[in-house]
């Protein structure tokens, strides 16, 4: 049960899965600082909630995950253009420990695409489209999109999307490598399937695995990147009760009872 309510998003908790839904369909779920702050608050609580293992972020309706930053709002608040990190409540969370899935149900443009790229996995409806159209309106994708897209699919492919501002399909995103699955079933069911599989794993193992996956690119020497002692969460995992519980459960042919410690 998730007791807290918000104005611009809806949040629910069931089966250890937190679902965050951007609820601004009148503007194609476009984001402004208040909505970004609410998403940030929900993610902070998710990170610290013992009964939550994985989160899904999606948009209300079938048309848009998020069409990006709300330019109508920005036109009424022009000082926002002086702050290149207006969406930082979302994209600054590059080190969040628990897994997050973006369930992209339509347009994911600009800051909306950046939000999806900041998640660990992206599953998309067949009609979903992605893009960073900021250069077409005199801006640049400063919320992490340029950096993350380049890291995730390589320089030339990323620049083909970044420099043209064009939209790409879900299938193209899958073949480029930033979409994990184009849903052949209803999108919520697809995202839930991924989330349930993740939720079966040891929380400390997920934390350690994510840290290694993201931090290895920051370590200059291969030998340092390969050394488990380079990752604090790996050491925490190896010293935990869960590492023994997983082995015992396997040998006893039962489901493990993770304690997260």
Helix segments in 77-186, DSSP class H = 88-91, 111-118, 145-153, 155-162, 170-176
- Which of these is catalytic: 38, 60, 89, 114? 114
Show the tokens assigned to 93.
Answer: 């969370």
Three-state secondary structure call for residue 170 = helix
Q: How far apart are CA 198 and CA 90, in angstroms?
A: 22
Show the tokens assigned to 113.
Answer: 């695409």
Per-residue CA distances from 71 to 30, 60, 91, 111, 254 (Å): 8, 19, 18, 11, 53
- Which of these is catalytic: 38, 60, 134, 211? 134
Let me know if 241 is a catalytic residue: no
Let me know if 218 is a catalytic residue: no
**Which stretches does DSSP call E strand in 71-114?**
100-104, 107-109
Exposed / middle / buried, residue 18 (Cβ in 10 Å: 0-12, 13-18, 19+): buried
What length is written for the chain?
261
Catalytic residues: 114, 134
């Amino acid at each position: 049960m998730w007791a807290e309510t918000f104005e611009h998003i809806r949040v629910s908790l069931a089966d250890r899965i937190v679902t965050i839904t951007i609820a601004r369909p009148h503007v194609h779920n476009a984001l402004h600082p208040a909505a970004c702050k609410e998403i940030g608050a929900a993610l902070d609580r998710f990170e610290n909630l013992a009964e939550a293992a994985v989160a899904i972020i999606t948009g209300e309706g079938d048309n848009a995950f998020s069409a990006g930053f709300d330019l109508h709002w920005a036109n009424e608040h022009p000082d926002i253009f002086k702050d290149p990190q207006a969406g930082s409540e979302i994209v600054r969370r590059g080190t969040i420990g628990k897994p997050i899935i973006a369930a992209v149900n339509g347009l994911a443009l600009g800051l909306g695409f950046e939000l999806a790229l900041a998640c660990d996995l992206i599953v998309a409806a067949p009609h979903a489209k992605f893009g960073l159209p900021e250069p077409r309106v005199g801006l640049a994708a400063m919320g992490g999109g340029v950096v993350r897209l380049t890291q995730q699919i390589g320089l030339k492919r990323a620049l083909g999307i970044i420099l043209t501002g064009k939209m790409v399909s879900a299938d193209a995103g899958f073949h480029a490598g930033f979409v994990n699955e184009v849903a052949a079933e209803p999108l919520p069911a697809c995202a839930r399937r991924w989330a349930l599989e993740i939720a079966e794993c040891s929380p400390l193992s997920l934390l350690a695995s994510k840290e290694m996956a993201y931090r290895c690119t920051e370590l200059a020497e291969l030998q340092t990147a390969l050394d488990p002692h380079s990752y604090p969460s790996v050491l925490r995992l190896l010293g935990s009760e869960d590492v023994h519980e997983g082995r015992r459960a396997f040998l006893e042919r039962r489901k493990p009872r993770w304690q997260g410690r």
